[in-house]
Chains A and B, each alone.
Chain A
Amino acid sequence: MISCLIVDDEPYAREALAELLEQQADIDIIGQCGNAVDAMQTINREQPDLVFLDIQMPRISGMELIAMLDPERMPRIVFVTAYDEFAIKAFDNHAFDYLLKPLDEQRLQQTLSKVRRDLTPQILTPVMPVHLEHLPCYSGNKLKIIAVNEVEYAFSDLTGVHIATAKEQVHTELTLKVLEEKTPLLRCHRQYLVAPSAIAEIEVLETGGEVTTHSEAKIPVSRRYLKVLKQAFGFN
């Protein structure tokens, strides 16, 4: 059985696809999501084999979503779009799977048989945004979209990954690795990333160092990353 997730902000569009997929004996629809944030959570939790992903979605697009996923846990993606000239050109160039709306049953069959032969996720880097602008976060149960330039630092602990701005601290599904790769945040510790623009002071200690941010938060710096951090500011 292939476990699959449908991500689209329009209910009828999800329904239409679900109807077609339900006719397939080997496809198991494990869920439907109406936005990218829900989708990321579900993907991380359920780890589906296959995701049908709409591109145009509120706040965080399908393309941004795949950039936010941990490359190690990336499922096979089939893009779904009504109209997006540039994306379609890119998909064709790289032989990525995509479906056009309204859905064509034959085309869906072709795509499914291709996926059944080989479920290995494709390398989607050419269509992913290089930098993330907005980060989906949770504060309690409330969903929040944080702009990257507001972030002071990020860290991980037993409960997950947290993002701190000057005003608040929120939880996110993004991994530190993704944040390090797709945002300007710099690694300063195994469990910490810091925004260079937020650094007010770097104090050198025996154990490594300590960064004080503009909002006076203290962040540990390990010896291993101290050099890199200093170099980022032009010190040797």
Chain B
Amino acid sequence: MALILALTQQMCLYMVIVYLVSKTPMFKLFAEASTRLPHKVYIYLVFSSFCIMATYFGEQAHGAIANTRAMGAVLGGLLGGPTTGLLVGLTGGIHRYSLGGFTDLSCAISTTLEGFSAGMMSYYLRKQGRSELVYHPFLVGLVTFYAEMMQMCIILLVARPFDDALALVRQIAPPMLMVNSIGAALFMSIIRDQKTMFDKLSSSFSTKALKIAERSVGLLSKGFNEKASTQVAKIVIEETAVGAVAITDREKLLAFIGIGADHHIPGTPISSKITMDAIHQNKVMFADGVETPYACSISSSCKLGSSLVIPLRADNEVIGTIKLYEPKNKLFLNINRTLGEGIARLLSNQILYGRFEQQQTMLTQAELKLLQAQVNPHFLFNALNTISAIVRRDPAQARQLLQQLSQFLRINLKRTTGVVTLGDELEHIDSYLAIERARFVDKLQVNIAIDSALYGMEMPAFTLQPIIENAVKHGTSHLLEQGIINVSAERDKRSVTLVVEDNAGLYQAKKTSDGLGMNLVHKRIQNQYGTRYGVNVSCEPDVYTRVTITLPYRND
């Protein structure tokens, strides 16, 4: 009985050590079923020392030692596999042998076999694809129990004189069987609990983070303003269940949701020092309410007691902050702290993307303005020359052409970069073609066959006209024979395809001057309606160049 108590005491000491280790990062090494060598070495070292310590702390009994060495060998085998198990057992065994006594040899053999057989067990389970059973306390207890039974048999077989051995086994078998089995089982149970807790925590963390990312996607890319910020703040508070969430830019509060919303009013300037510090030092600021006190800078009756302020960055420059709060009666959870930083990164990326997109649009608009300003001077002067030639023989036609030229120029100069109808665009094309027809007389023929039912459909201004101008400028005007341009439209359920085809077939993809106008039209359509739409060119040299413009069709 005294032996049971003594051994239990010993086991308790181990449990305390294991429990402490389980609180450190080292614990992860137990919980992982890794096959890498450093890991195995680690397992070997830890459990070999367990074996050696167990031998030292063992109770002297009848010239032998009652101990918990089996625990070390079995656990080493289960966690490290056959080789590691064998080595752990061998180390423990040799150490035991060096201490002498009439069971020295039998103990050395049995410890080695214990480690090895536990390792084989672990190997078998892994092969069966049921390696999670290694962490099952009951199984571990059972394995240890068998291992100890084996040890007892070996003592009886190997240790001489047999009578002494038998007497010894009688005395030490029950306490050693019991304590070792229970100890190993408890050890594994601690590891398993820690592992489960860790898994749960990280899975709930990633679920939360993913959910926030999924719900907030695209919100801030439209612009970093009060409306979008409020939506994001709402999502964050719903997913994290913190006391309150705020989003600021560099100067003022953009959104505030949760406890204290009555006096934290969006649109007011930033008043708390901690936020200013976060912005100016580009650093995460945390006032946990315990070591660093947090006090609301607006109202003394504010219930908020702790605050985390994370800067939002775009291109390394702080453009605002996101703040998480907890009330005075709640602790600020560590998980929310990490999560908060993740959210800030996510939002920063979105804002950056939004800015990038905005710049792209601005660039396109600038390019368009440039294009508009560049009314092809060759066209303009030739038009004037044509009119001046016609003036003498047909003043009425000349007047009409001047009308059309002014209208063309007026639309070109006045038209915004916005959306127009197909009808508007065709009108613009009409005045353009009136001039070109006068210039080339019967050398240019343009057939426009578009159902008037489509005249109401919308498109970015300057979509069709530049394409037709290209067809003349880079296509038919280079023909020695008559140039023919056919313009048509096809409609299906969701889109309209406008086709401009000339009979020159002189399109060359490499020619940059050619591409600018067309590229711009393509880019603007994609920006506005998405990548399913845009401009496409096909060309059969010397036969045709066909440009297709695909636009969305809305049946309203």
Q: Is A12 an interface residue (CB 8 A)?
A: yes
Verify A103–B378 contact, CB threshold 8 A. Answer: no
Q: Are A83 and B480 in contact (CB under 8 A)?
A: no
**B439 touches which of A12, A58, A83 (Cβ 8 Å):** A12
Chain B residues near A10 (CB-CB < 8 A): 382, 385-386, 439-441
B contact residues around A34 at 8 Å (CB): 443
Q: How far is the CA of A13 from the CA of B390 in the complex (A)?
A: 9
Q: A56-B378, A101-B382 are in contact. Are A16 and B440 (CB under 8 A)?
A: no
In the complex, what distance in Å separates the CA atom of A56 from the CA atom of B478? 9
Q: Decide: B378 and A82 in contact? CB cutoff 8 A.
A: yes
Q: Of residues 380 to 396 in B, which have CB atoms within 8 Å of A's CB atoms?
A: 380-382, 384-390, 392
Give B473's nearest chain A residue, CB to CB.
Answer: A56
Chain A, 40-67, contact with B by CB distance < 8 Å: what is the 0/1 string?
0000000000000000101100000000
Contact for A102 among B378, B385, B443, B478, CB less than 8 A: B385
- Separation of A120 and B529 alpha carbons in the complex (Å): 62
**Minimum C-beta distance from A37 to chain B (A):** 7
B385 CB contact (under 8 Å) in A13, A37, A59, A143? A13
Bound form: Cα–Cα A103–B389 in Å: 9
Which residues of the partner chain B approach A32 to less than 8 Å between Cβ atoms? none
Instruction: Tell me the nearest residue of chain A to B440, going by C-beta.
Output: A10
In the bound assembly, the distance between CA atoms of A58 and B380 in angstroms comes to 18
Is B377 in contact with chain A by the CB < 8 A criterion? yes
Q: List chain B residues, Cβ under 8 A from A103.
A: 385, 388
Chain B nearest CB from A140 CB (Å) reads: 16
Residues of chain A from 167 to 225 with CB closer than 8 A to chain B in the complex: none
| B contact residues, range | 20 to 34
A13 touches B377 (CB 8 A): no
Q: When chains A and B are docked, how far (Å) is the Cα of A37 from the Cα of B439?
A: 20
CA distance in complex: A35, B480 (Å): 7
Q: Knowing A83-B381, A101-B381, A102-B381 touch, does A12 contact B389 (C-beta < 8 A)?
A: yes
Question: Which chain A residue has the least Cβ–Cβ distance from B442?
Answer: A11
Alpha-carbon distance between A164 and B388 when the two chains are bound, in angstroms: 45
User: Do A83 and B385 form a contact, CB below 8 Å, given A10-B440, A19-B392?
Assistant: no
A82 and B382: CB pair below 8 A?
yes
Chain B residues lying within 8 Å of A9, measured Cβ to Cβ, are 440, 443, 477
Best-surrounded residue of A102, A103, A143 (most CB of chain B within 10 A): A102
A84 at the interface (CB under 8 A from B): yes
* Closest beta carbon of chain A to B352's beta carbon, Å: 41
Q: Which of B377, B381, B390, B438 has the most CB of A within 10 A?
A: B381
A15: Cβ under 8 A from any B Cβ? yes
> Which residue, B382, B439, B440, has most C-beta atoms of chain A within 10 A?
B382
In the assembled complex, which residues on chain B have CB atoms less than 8 Å from the CB atom of A143? Answer: 480
If A37-B480, A59-B478 touch, whether A16 touches B388 (CB-CB below 8 Å) is yes
Establish whether residues A101 and B385, one from each chain, have CB atoms under 8 Å apart when the complex forms.
Answer: yes
Interface positions, chain A 94-124, Cβ under 8 Å from B, are 100-103
User: Residues of A contacting B440 with CB < 8 Å?
Assistant: 9-10
Q: Could you say which of A12, A83, A84, A102 contacts B438, with CB atoms under 8 Å apart?
A: A12
Given contacts A83-B377, A102-B381, whether A13 and B480 have CB atoms under 8 Å apart is no
Task: Indicate if the CB atoms of B381 and A13 lie closer than 8 Å.
Answer: no
Please, what's the 1-or-0 string for B257-290, where 1 marks a CB less than 8 Å from any CB in chain A? 0000000000000000000000000000000000
- Which residues of chain B from 337 to 391 have a CB within 8 Å of any chain A CB? 377-378, 380-382, 384-390
**Cβ of B479 < 8 Å from any Cβ of A?**
yes
CA distance A9 to B385 in the complex (A): 13
Interface residue from A16, A58, A82, A100 paired with B389 (Cβ < 8 Å): A16
**Measured CA separation A16–B439 after assembly (Å):** 12
Q: How far is the CB of B47 from chain A (nearest CB, A)?
A: 79
Which of B378, B392, B439 makes the CB contact (< 8 A) with A84?
A: B378
CB neighbours (8 Å) of B478 from chain A are 58-59
From B377, B387, B441, B479, contact of A58 by CB (8 A)? B479
Q: Which residues of A contact B378 (CB under 8 A)?
A: 56, 82-84
A177 to B57, CA, bound (A): 112
**Chain B residues with CB below 8 A from A102, complex form:** 381, 384-385, 387-388
Task: Enumerate B404-452 residues with CB–CB distance to A below 8 Å.
Answer: 438-441, 443
- Determine the distance from Cα of A35 to Cα of B479 in the docked complex, in whole angstroms: 10
Instruction: Find the B residue at minimum CB distance from A38.
Output: B480
- List, in ascending order, chain A residues with CB within 8 A of B385's CB: 10, 12-13, 16, 82, 101-103
| Smallest CB separation, A171 vs chain B (Å) | 16
**In chain B, what residue has the closest Cβ to A55?**
B378
A155 and B443 alpha carbons, distance in the complex (Å): 35
Which 8 interchain pairs have the tightest Cβ spacing? A16-B389, A82-B381, A101-B385, A12-B389, A102-B388, A102-B385, A83-B377, A82-B382
Residues of B within 8 A of A (CB): 377-378, 380-382, 384-390, 392, 438-441, 443, 477-480
- A residues near B, CB below 8 A? 9-13, 15-16, 19, 34-35, 37, 56, 58-59, 82-84, 100-103, 143
**10 extra interface residue pairs, beta carbon distance < 8 Å, beyond A12-B441, A102-B381, A102-B388:** A10-B440, A12-B390, A12-B439, A13-B439, A15-B389, A82-B382, A83-B380, A103-B385, A103-B388, A143-B480
Chain A to chain B contacts (Cβ below 8 Å), 10 pairs: A10-B386, A12-B386, A12-B390, A13-B389, A16-B388, A58-B479, A82-B381, A82-B382, A83-B380, A103-B385
